[in-house]
Structure 1
C-alpha cells in the first residue's frame, strides 16, 4: 500500500476529528450528560437547573425567544365546568426563570423525557375578553388582567422520533406530549369588568379569589399548557439544529490504580480537545493480511477534561478529593497503531474492521489542575496543584498509560466511523 495513500488516510482521520469538533454543539449554557451513566437523571436535573436562569434572555442563535417574560399571543379558555368563555391576549408570563427542576426521567429507546418542575410564583399579565358565567354568576368584560399562581408544579412528558437529515446526522423530532399540574394558590385581578362598574367588578374579583380552586379547574389546564408551550419552544428550537449525538457525552474513564507513586484516581466523563489540530508526519503499513497500520502524528496541544476522584499519595504527599480534572499536554508527538480484519460486504467490496489499537506519546510539557482537593481547602489544593506541575515528568509517567488509552479510544472511534462506511479500494485507490 503506497505511502501517499497511507498519509491520505492519516490526514482523513485529522479531518474527521475536526468535523467532530465542528458539529453543531449544544448551547454552552446546557451541560451535556453522559448518555449511559446510571446517574443520568441526576445529571440532567443539575444541568437543567443551571441552564434555566440563563434562558431568561433566550438563545438568539437558535431562535429561542426570551423566556422571562415569555410572550404568548393568545390563550383560549372554553370554560369547561364553569360556563365562561375567556380569551387572554398578548400575555407575558413572568417568573419562568425561577423554575426549579425537581426530577427528570429519561429513556433512550424510544426517546422519552419526563420533566417535573416547580415554579414558585408565576404572573400572567395581559389583555382579556370574558363572557358567560363563573359558577352561577354572570361575567362580562374586556381589559387588563393579572393572574398570579403560587407554588405551581408541572409534569411535562414528551416523546421523540429520531430523523436522519440530509447532513447524515440523526435529530430528535418531538412527536407527542402530555401535561399534569397542581398549584397551591391562585389570585385574580380583572380590570374593567361589567363595562367598568367598580362595585360589580370588585365583587367578581373577590368571588374569583375566594373560589380559586373551582375556577382553576377550568382555567388551569390552559395556563399549564402555556407554561409547557414555553418549554416546547426551547425543545423544538434546540432539537431542530443540534444532532442527537451532541446532546450527550459518553462515559470514558481514566483510571490510575496504585502506580509507582501510590496514587489511586479515577476520572469519568473524559472529554478530549485538540485532536482536530493533529498533523500526520509519518506512517508504516503492513501489506500482508491482516493489514496493520502505524501513524506518527503531532498535536500542538491536547486538553483532557473530566470528573475525578483521587486518594492515597502522590510521591510522599497525601492527596484526597473529588471534583474536576484538567490535563493539558503541549507539543504532543504520538504514534497510533492498529490491526484490522477484512470483511467483504453485500456490495462485493472489502472493508477494514479495526481489531486492536494502541498509542504511545510524549509531550514537551504537561499541566494538571485538580479542583476541590482536600474538601475544598483552597490553600492545600493550590499547593498540591503547584507540586503536581513542578513534578510533571513523574506525574506523566504515572498518568501516561491511561491517557494513552483514552486517546486510543477516541481515535479508534474516528477510524471506525471511516472504515464502517468507506470501502478499502476508496481509502486506498492506488490498490484498485
Structure 2
C-alpha cells in the first residue's frame, strides 16, 4: 500500500529524466485529467522496476521495513500490539488512479489522490500480543494481511522548501484512508505453534474480518500515512517543483497517455481454449461463455471427438487406419470398442486424416476458473501453455442410447487411472477461510477419475433422406477418487505460508473440488456441445452410422 503515494510521484516525475531540463514536461499546472492518465501509465511501466533518476523506488513489491499497529484505546474490543518487520507489499502494479486534485502553481495547499486497487497483500514477519474481541492472541512468525477491492485516498498539504534559490515541495500532514470490500488475515505460529489454537484463531479472524478491520482501521491508516509521507517528499526532492510541470507560456506539447485498456479493467468475456498439434498444423476450439473450466474434464471432450471420428467413416473404410470400423447406430458395444481402440492406438499420435490431434500430452493454451462470491472457494485461477497427460490410458466403460430416436439421451461413461495437469498458473482469491495469491508452475493430479454424462440431440432434416443432429442439452459429472495440488510460487515464494496453504488445500481436496464441480460440468457441456455440433453439422447420421 505504501506505493500508492509513490505512484503519484511517478506520475508527476516520470517525465523528469536525467536530462530533465531539456525534456518535454508531461502536464500543465492543475491539469488533473492529464495527471490521472500519466499516473496510470506510469504504474503500468514502472511499478515493478522503479527509476533511480526520479528517486522512485520499486513499488511492487514495496519493501516495508517496519510498521507498528497499536490498537486498544477507548475500550476497543480489539486490543493488540502488532509489529510487521521485513514485509513486502504486493498489488501496486494493478493500482488505478481515479481522481486527483491540487498540484497547481501554489505549493502550500491541499493535494489529493483518489485510487482503487484490486488487491493489496502485506506479507512477511510479524509479532502480536493482546486480545481480539473475546479471545487472547499471541504469536511470532509470518503473516499475510490482504485487502480486496479497496478505495484509497491520500491527501497532504504541500510545504514549500527553498534550496539554492529554487522552491521544492515536501509533503506534510499526510492522511491515508482505505475502504476495502473484503479483507483476509493469516498468521503462522500463533500460540507458539499450537496448530489447533492457531487454526481456530485464524478462522475466527476471517469470520469476523469486517468487524476487526473496522476496529483497527484508524491504526492501519495512521501507520500507512507514516510510510507514504516520506515517499512523496523523496520524489519531489529530485527537482524544483516548477520543473514537474509544463510552463503555461511554453509551446511544448503536453505528453498525455491513455490507459483505456488498463490491465484487468475489462476481463475477457469470451475465453478461448485452443488445442494444438505437434506437427505444425493447428486446430482450434473456441469456447464463448462466462463459465470457466478446470482440468480433468478434457478427457471426456476428447472421448466424444474420438467416438465421433471413430464412427465418421462415411462408408470408406479404406481411408481410415486399420482397426476403425463403422458401427450400427444401436450397437453400443461396437461404438465403445471403437472409442477404446482409437484412444489406445492414436491418443499420442493423433489421426491426421480424421483431424484428430495428439491427445497425450494435450497442450492447452489458456483456460480460467472464475470467481464465485457465494462459494467458500472464491478464486481467479488462470493457466497458460499447460499440458494434460494421461489421456492415452482413458477407457470407455459404457456407451448407450444411440438410436434413430434422438429425443432419448445418450450416455457416456469413461474412466482414467490418472490425469495430470502441468504448467504455468496464477491465482488470486480465497480458499475456504484463507486468502490465496501466487504465480508459478502448477501440477494437479486426478486419481481414478470417472466422467459420466448424458447428451440430448434433436434432428435436423436437410435434403432427401439426410438427417443431421444438433446437441441441445448436456449434463456432465466428474468424480475423481483423489485430487492433489502442487502450486509453486504461492504467496510470492513465502515458504511457511505456502506450506500451510498446501496442507489446507490437500487435506480438504474433496471439499474444494466439490465446490468447483458445477462450473466444471457446465463448462464441459459447452465444450462438448461445440465439438459435437461441428461433427454432426458436417456429416448426416446416415453416414456416421449403419442405420
Higher relative contact order (CA 8 A, sep 6+): 1
TM-score (normalised: structure 1): 0.50
Bigger strand share:
1
